[in-house]
Structure 1
Amino acid sequence: MALVDFYIIFFSVLFFLNISILLFIYDEKNTLKVDINRDSLAIFGAFIAALIFMFYLNLLDYSYSDDFKQYLRWFHEVAIIDDFSDLEREKDLGFSYLLYLLSRFTSSNTIFTLLLSIFVLLFISSISQHDRVKFFNFESMFILFTILLLNRMALEHYFNIIRSFVCSAVLIYVLLKFFRSKYIWLALIPLMYFIHKMQFLLFFIFLFLAVILPVRVLIVLIIIGVINIFTDASSQVIASQMIKYINYITDFYSNSGLTGDLVFSFSKKLQVGFYIIIPLLLLYTQTITNWGFVSIVSRKDAFLIKYIYLLSGVYFLFVSVFPVADRLTVILIPLLYIMFIKYVPRKIVVTYSLCVVAFNYIALIRNSAYLNV
């Protein structure tokens, strides 16, 4: 048996366990009369989801992502200098310094990938504790692990735009801590500016806009955006206007997507529909009535949902003609899933999670050629 076949069987067993635990959680009345502690089962489920993610991310061949290979070159570039002042690269010095500190202990690609995957797990574990309303904490963590770790869009964040992910993950963590009156974490905010300046600015610009824009405007923005994703109607107009300012835009952000052409593939539209639009619309049905929030939504959650709506609407409108909009999903997806788990009925959340597992399994098998075995 080829080694790749062994890993496919290995992953298949883990996915089967993941689905089995989801089905048990779905059965709230315990019709099978299984005497098992739900928290213990959820912890085991989270461990299985983490195991799938850790093995998959660390077994992927580096050729899977050109961006990841660039990060590895950056890491090795920093590793060979004796003093940080000798670094010639001026871009995002905070991230370079993180790499420099890590390189004092190791220059191994494997350790770099392992530490990245551990950071992802710690981030998702920490934000899962924001939800203390409906699910047990451990069940919430298990669900979040299941729908976030091998989410095909989120996987791009962990493997392609690492600086954006690190910056956004810390800022999201700080924002949630701020909502729980733990202000000491605000001290981390200035540091994130030096990790990724553009992502830092995007995070706070849209945070400010979410404060001042009424929810009705954001709902209309989402409606227009969702229509645009599948028709490109608004993108055609946006592209025709942006091409007039192409010289100014490319001075700020250089990418071939700024030629005025629509570069949003059908497969990407399918991912956006499955991973963002479906949970977004389900969240809308549970939290909005008569162009306003239902009474069960707290003020803090109402603000987060407005933030989610704004990020979603802008992403839907701009992603096909302005690729930097992809960086909005690094902020959007974790926050969306937190609110989705919190406000959407349990059976719907678990049913969606089962679909995510199936979707992720199919994608993993199709990408098995990239396993570095």
Structure 2
Amino acid sequence: MKIEEYLLDVINGKETGIIAKIILIVLNLLSFLYQGIVNLRKLMYSWGIKKQKSLAAKVISVGNITVGGTGKTPVVQLLAKTLVGKGHKVVILNRGYKANFSDEIGLVSDGNEVLMNAEEAGDEAYMLASSLKGIPVIIGSERSQTGEFACQEFDPDFIILDDAFQHLQVARDYDLVVIDATNPFGNEHLLPRGLLREPLSSLKRAHIFFLTKVDQIGDNKLRDIKKRLIEINPAAMIITTKHNPTYLRKINSNQQNEINLTGEKILAVSGIGNPKAFEETLRGLGAELIDKLRFADHHTYTRKEVLEIYALASEKNVDRIITTEKDAVSIDDDLLEEIELEMISFEVLGIEIGIIDSIYKFDELIDRLEVVR
């Protein structure tokens, strides 16, 4: 068992024994320290010791309260496409997690051309730039700097701060929080004892909640989640969504094909925050999930790992290997050429956000965004 999996089992109570208990004691102490740092940082902003930077454009933050895959990127894509479709100029600011880039500001896309590769930009920023034509994507850890650059270079109507609920440096007009319905509040402990980035009371700052993967839970659990959110923040709008599989493509091709996985024997490969949801999506499409390989979130694949993937696929006699778009951008082009020569098809499942029963709320959200300020 990998160390990450073992620690997750410890914090979720699946591992017991003296070693697990000692680890939990240490994690609780670290979590207490982490909460102190979080609270002090908020106080510094409320006392005016730290100043928020206001930008010339309307600013929308899309973030989450937990670590791991909540489905934030598809929400950013939906929001950006909708605003552009209504005639607005949009720029996306992303931190550039795991980007091989040392400057303060990185222009991943100018809206016309993708200017950086996945290794330089980081997987999420590159995926956004590749999928959102006409929308500039900028990376940098200091959103105040990248935000000013965006305003000067592109004069946008809207700036979307990707993964910025905890990034208080830039003032925002609207805070959207994405919550994974399959694991909405982690185990209700702060990092590293749990999965919470900050206390649940911080959700009072949110203007709207996007509940994702709602189709993978029951009505009773959905009702409980909504009740909890309303108790914390009764003023925030709640929009329920699901991840809609939209296409399959071979990993070395951009041609999008219809999805037909009924009865197909599949090896699922993913390096994302919530691999279970991806695997459940494949099962929901009628696939027979023979085996799975899970890597750490934002994983960059090596040649050795690709060979191991194919060795397992051959051993299990699967029909296809399927991964995510986020994983696909983390496989080097040279490896893609080698994959093309293999007999077992290595494919990518495309996903987009589908609003379940709250489309009128989403329309209302867009109307609010257009008139805010």
Q: TM-score range by the shorter chain?
A: under 0.3
Q: Tell which has more relative contact order, 1 or 2 (C-alpha 8 A, sep 6+).
A: 1
TM-score by length of 1: 0.27
| Larger proportion of helix | 1
